Chains A and B, each alone.
Chain A
Amino acid sequence: DIQMTQSPSTLSASVGDRVTITCRASQSISSWLAWYQQKPGKAPKLLIYKASSLESGVPSRFSGSGSGTEFTLTISSLQPDDFATYYCQQYNSYSELTFGGGTKVEIK
């Protein structure tokens, strides 16, 4: 099994802050990583795929980077709409997809 570990689990930030979330894989997954945003009571929404490709319609303040075992999601200037929980997901192994534990971005 490929384990995905996100850090931090909770992050307190202010509007306008630059925010970085880290996701580590227990083994190399090349660039087969996606990031999702989820707001309370809502379904997740795809933000980034293949580690750094921005999904259509997602604001350019979101960016992803990394390969192998270490990945980051960066929000360049946090907006009020960005307070949510973020999840990474590996798809290197089609037979066993796994998500990270999530990072909740809270208002400071």
Chain B
Amino acid sequence: EVQLVESGGGLVKPGGSLRLSCAASGFTFSSYSMNWVRQAPGKGLEWVSSISSSSSYIYYADSVKGRFTISRDNAKNSLYLQMNSLRAEDTAVYYCARGKVGYMSRWGQGTLVTVSS
């Protein structure tokens, strides 16, 4: 069974940093691109970042470019999102999602990031 389990969310002050992790199981992690998608409270879905299976291609939404860094460790079946210079508007549930030709075939349950003083 495909499983994606996010962790690392929590409360952080504006300007602070946080690192999210996503542990994957039940599929060949190294064969799939991966994504981070977020959802602010009561709002819609917003794509954050994508990384190809071998990390050769990495993309970011303009809203996080220069502040967030996506990475993966195929040996550990894990996806990461390093978030720096956090702002109140980054408050959201962050989902990791398995990619397939650009759409997202499986999603984790999400981890909540709250940026507040």
Closest to A6 in B: B44
Give, as a whole number of angstroms, the nearest-CB distance from B69 to chain A.
16
Instruction: Give the total of A residues in contact with B, Cβ under 8 Å.
Output: 24
A interface with B by C-beta (< 8 Å): 32, 34, 36, 38, 42-46, 49, 55, 87, 89, 91-92, 94-102
Give complex CA distance A41, B82 in Å.
24
Which label, helix, strand, loop or mixed, suits the secondary structure of the A interface? Answer: loop
- Are A55 and B102 within 8 A (Cβ)? no
Residues of B within 8 A of A102 (CB): 44-45
B interface with A by C-beta (< 8 Å): 35, 37, 44-47, 50, 57, 59, 61, 95, 100-110
- Are B59 and A43 within 8 A (Cβ)? no
- Are A43 and B108 within 8 A (Cβ)? yes
Q: Which listed residue, A42, A55, A101, touches B105 by the CB 8 Å rule?
A: A55
Give complex CA distance A94, B102 in Å.
6
- Are A91 and B44 within 8 A (Cβ)? no
Closest to B105 in A: A46
- Are A44 and B102 within 8 A (Cβ)? no
Q: Which listed residue, A34, A43, A55, A99, touches B46 by the CB 8 Å rule?
A: A99
- Are B95 and A91 within 8 A (Cβ)? no
Q: Which listed residue, B44, B57, B95, B101, touches A87 by the CB 8 Å rule?
A: B44
Give complex CA distance A43, B47 in Å.
14
